[in-house]
Amino acid sequence: MGTVRGGLPGAILDGPVCTRVARGALCVSFLPPGCRLCTFDCTYCPFEHGKRREGWPSPGAIGTALAHALRRSEPVDAIAITGPGEQTLHPRFGLAVANVLAARQLRPELPVRVTTNGTTVRRPQVRRILDLVDERIVRLDAGAERISRPFPGAHLGTLIASLASLRDFSVESVFVEGPGANTDGASVAGWLELVAELQPRRAYVTTIERAPAEPGPRPASLERLEEIAARVRHEAGVLADAVP
């Protein structure tokens, strides 16, 4: 969904990300450079899916790169573990997170956030690691499997059942218009029911920067995002922000 900030070399820091919530954050990717590794194939994702299982950045390299960046005077408001794919797939995910938290001691006021599609939350070890960071942001889109298109074995029902095992979590939900839209009344209503049931700490209602291909999904308008966020606050009783 775009590059959040530039100016730092390498694939680990400030590369392309799959979230618009990371604006203003220093973004750290655990994934091999040059491809997307994910258990979803979302209809709106602009990144080409890859199958590389090598070239993972080492936990030490992640920590060193982050520490170097944090010593710079450039202002940031958070550290976001995010990138073009599912960060929890890193074979040494726990050690990578530990290195991020160790480097964060240079700027202890910065919260550490992880964005995830939640499909690995069913694993107790992943849940324990996610609970170490300050905010867990789980992608949960309206339109369910029609939009997220999970790979075999990554069932949304299992994901939803696993979320209750997390200490707490926020949700990020991408809304699109045009082909495959999920801003229609039925999709939004079903999603609102789920948010009301799950009671996340916050909901980020967002969209895409542009369609990955034409014809394809288009960004939802700010007006529509604000309408949906207002419904989350009023109908589900959950804090919600529109993030265009």
Q: Is the pLDDT of residue 220 over 50?
A: yes
CA distance between the termini of the chain: 12
Q: Go through the domains of the chain in sequence order and give each one's CATH number.
A: 26-243 (3.20.20.70)
Neighbours of 75 (CB within 10 A): 7
For 54-101, what is each residue's pLDDT tens digit? 689 999 999 999 999 999 867 899 999 998 889 999 999 999 999 999
- What is this structure's pTM? 0.90
Residue 194 has pLDDT above 80, yes or no: yes
Determine the pLDDT at residue 4.
Answer: 37
Which residue type occupies 82?
Answer: T
Is residue 217 within 8 A of residue 176, CB to CB? The reply is: yes
Query: Residue type at 74?
Result: E
pLDDT in tens, 106-163: 999 999 999 999 999 999 999 999 999 999 999 999 998 899 998 887 777 878 888 9
